Amino acid sequence: MDQPTLRELVIKTVLSPRSVLAITTFLFCYIANILFRSLRHKKVFPVFGDKNDPAGFRDVIRDAYKKVMHPNTFYTLPTEPINNVIVPIKYVPEIKSVPETQLSFIEHNYFRFIGKHTTIITQRDHQLIEKGIKIDLTRFLGHTMFVMQDEASWVLQDMFGNCQDWTPIHLYANALRIISFVSGRVFIGLPMSRDERWLKSTIEFTVDTFLGGKKLSEYPRVFWPILEHVLPELRRVRWHYKNVKNLLQPLLEARLQDMEDPDFKRPKDMLQWGIDNSNGNERNIWWQTMFHLKISVAAIHSTGISLYHILFDIAALPDTHEILRQEIADVEAKYGCPLPKVGLTKLHKLDSLMKESQRMNQLNILTMTRKVMKDMKFSDGTTIPKGMFIGVASGAVNRDAEIFDNPNEFDPWRFYKLRQIPGMENQHQFVSTGGMNYNWGHGTHACPGRFFGSNEIKIIVVEFLKNFELKLLAGAKRPENNYWGMEVRPDFGAQMLIRRR
């Protein structure tokens, strides 16, 4: 008798009644599980908004906030590239300190920004970078004060010193450039911080990675490994790595050689903190390059956008100018010039205006975004399953009439007045989180660089107010923001007028 071929044996085995039953049972259970999770999602978390209308998410969130947040109901916002379950403010205390192993900030951003292909955020190195900001940079804020004031004075004179008459400037591009100079002076130091090659990459790296990620998301995932080598934006990302690597290498080698001296004293700069936090990668030039580029992502664009908003708000409110200048003069008379760290904290009116600007112009409509790594059960019994994404509607909180009087009006002294109430002198600061402010996040992953960023912005605004006049273009209004998905974008082309005092 002829032996059955391998093909015949496979067909006979696969098509046997027992195999067919097993396969059918598996498929049934698999599909039922998907449907169950989908139905559970729909039942527990009503959907607000249309994924095909991301420009309308701001209004959707505000409407949903009014309808379901006061009853404290969870709901879903169909954002791209991932849906987010919106957590009511009532439950923020339950998520603010949950460990990364259950609610992951890193995994959320790694997925949202396609970190594997854009390199904008990586799982392995994020915590080391955060340590360089949260611990080292924050610890030496007092030292950075005088360095930043010196650089802010120089860069504003260099950029606008010849503006004897009213001169139009594109504020967004100039704000990024100012922040790049001032941050770079602290991070890498002179003369590299003023090198145009360094500035180009530290400014443009963030833009190219974000744009590259958006382009990738327009294609099926199967093509991403190929497209990361084809898309112009992501090709430029690789160029930025090579450019910064070439600029950084001689500085790194010189610093490592200096460290061999027994009398070596650690400089207070990001070059040293990158070495100290490298977890064995002190001599790995590619790791060090990555560290400095990722620091630029955290330090330049969000701070630059905040500076843009604050300067436009000041320009739109000419009655505030002399009030702020008088406060600066009073504080300098008491604490000296350049201002020490404690002096900067006494600019309460400027701090209030900055916080109001942030309230009206948040960077994202959602904060405290996380990926659920393990089922998250809340005190009311609601469970958000593993694999889903969550966020807090901080933008809606900013316009809540039960929290803020006249929430749609810009009141520059709103938080200054609140700090005059006995017992609230140290609350409602620009860097504060929780309570009525979730724009920085809150808890474990509240923005670690907000203290440095706050000081940097105040220093730059003080230099502007002391040495320049600002106003809107003739007949112009304060530029409107553009909303797209979770993003709040400034008017990148908006101009204002500047004149030396």
Q: Which residues are annotated as a binding site for heme?
A: 447
Residue in this structure with the two tokens 């804020």, named with its chain if needed: 141
Give the helix/strand (H/E) hosting 94. helix 92-95
**What long-range pairs does 449-454 form, CB within 8 A, spacing at least 24?**
449/133, 449/134, 449/137, 449/298, 449/299, 449/303, 451/138, 451/141, 452/133, 452/137, 452/138, 452/141, 452/144, 452/186, 452/299, 453/299, 453/302, 453/303, 453/306, 454/351, 454/354, 454/430
3-state secondary structure of 206: helix
- The secondary structure element, H or E, covering residue 103 is strand 103-104
Contact present, 121 and 106 (Cβ < 8 Å): yes
Print burial letters for 14-40: b (CB count within 10 Å at least 16), e (below 16). Answer: eeeeeeeeeeeeeeeeeeeeeeeeeee
Q: Find all residues with CB under 8 Å of 179, minimum gap 6, and list them.
A: 299, 300, 303, 304, 307, 456, 460
> Is there a contact between 221 and 313 (Cβ–Cβ < 8 Å)?
no
Peptide bond into 338 cis (omega under 30): yes
Number of H helices, E strands in the chain: 22, 12
Return the H-helix or E-strand segment holding 156.
helix 141-160
Q: Residue 227, class by beta-carbon neighbours within 10 Å (0-12 exposed, 13-18 middle, 19+ buried)?
A: middle
DSSP lists the bridge partners of residue 38 as: none
Question: Which residues sit in the known binding site?
Answer: 447
For residue 54, the 8-state DSSP code is: G
Output the DSSP codes for 480-500.
PPEEETTEEE--TT-EEEEEE
Neighbour tally for 477: CB within 10 Å: 8
